[in-house]
Amino acid sequence: MTELKSRPAPATIDETLDLLAGADYVADRSLATVLFLSLRMKRPLFLEGEAGVGKTEIAKVLAQALGRRLIRLQCYEGLDVSSAVYEWNYAAQMIEIRMEEAAGKVDRSDMERNVFSEKYLIRRPVLDALTGKAGAAPVFLIDELDRTDEAFEAFLLEILSDFQVTVPELGTIKAQEPPIVIITTNRTREIHDALKRRCLYHWVDYPNA
């Protein structure tokens, strides 16, 4: 896999317009302004609009232009923590337990520390986005948030507040550098104001001819 070469964020609104135009993305000045401010202030960008107006494409264009990894969390009804954040590789853990038992290792505390180590942790999009390298934070796309429920919304609010997540067996994992977060919604339902207040908001419309 070719390693991405990280590039600095645009320094002005005009540079942001040029960045989008360079990737053949048609954007008006208001969209370029809120994107520039989101990057400068390191705050999530909340994009709302009809399906097909290009909300998701903004994240793809940004990741490509800045040389950042794109991590996408595709939202759907019933999305839970194990699918969005992390889960344990239970099959590999069971194999390790059987091998340790066969080798005569019966210290339960040592065994527990071993099987609940990062070696057996499966990183889902949220945790993956929080563990990016400093200076090369990924673009984290939370796509179609309105497909999830209010419980997941509340969980996401905690993540966006501190850019950290707690894995009970390992402790708290905090981002060295916050990811570039872009949230999209097709407005099939209202998103709670508390989450919107954590973000810079923009309504995306179809481009003018």
**Average pLDDT, consecutive stretches of 10 residues, N- to C-terminus, the chain (209 residues):** 75 96 92 98 96 96 95 96 93 90 77 88 96 88 96 90 92 94 96 94 84
End-to-end Cα separation, the chain, in angstroms: 39
Residue 178 is predicted with a pLDDT of: 93
Q: Within this chain, do residues 185 and 136 fall inside the same structural domain, yes or no?
A: yes
Q: Would residue 8 count as lying in a domain?
A: no
Q: Would residue 99 count as lying in a domain?
A: yes
Residue 36 is predicted with a pLDDT of: 98
Residue 1 is predicted with a pLDDT of: 46
Whole-angstrom CA distances from 129 to 24, 69, 92, 108, 114 are: 26, 9, 24, 33, 25
Q: Would residue 133 count as lying in a domain?
A: yes
Residue 120 is predicted with a pLDDT of: 94
Q: What is the 3-state secondary structure (H, E, C) of 61-90?
A: HHHHHHCCCEEEEECCCCCCHHHHCEEECH
Q: What is the CATH number of the domain that holds 18?
A: 3.40.50.300
Q: Would residue 102 count as lying in a domain?
A: yes
Tell me the residue range of the domain where 106 lies: 86-123
74 token code pair: 């595709």
Domain boundary among 95, 123, 151: 123
100 token code pair: 């340790």
C-alpha atoms less than 13 angstroms from C-alpha of 28 in its C-beta half-sphere: 10
Q: Would residue 5 count as lying in a domain?
A: no
Domain boundary among 96, 123, 150: 123
Count of the separate structural domains present in the chain: 2
Residue 104 is predicted with a pLDDT of: 79
Q: Within this chain, do residues 92 and 132 fall inside the same structural domain, yes or no?
A: no
Give the separation between CA 97 and CA 26, rounded to whole angstroms. Answer: 55
Q: Within this chain, do residues 153 and 166 fall inside the same structural domain, yes or no?
A: yes
Q: Would residue 209 count as lying in a domain?
A: no
Q: Would residue 108 count as lying in a domain?
A: yes
Give the separation between CA 103 and CA 53, rounded to whole angstroms. Answer: 59
Q: Within this chain, do residues 149 and 197 fall inside the same structural domain, yes or no?
A: yes
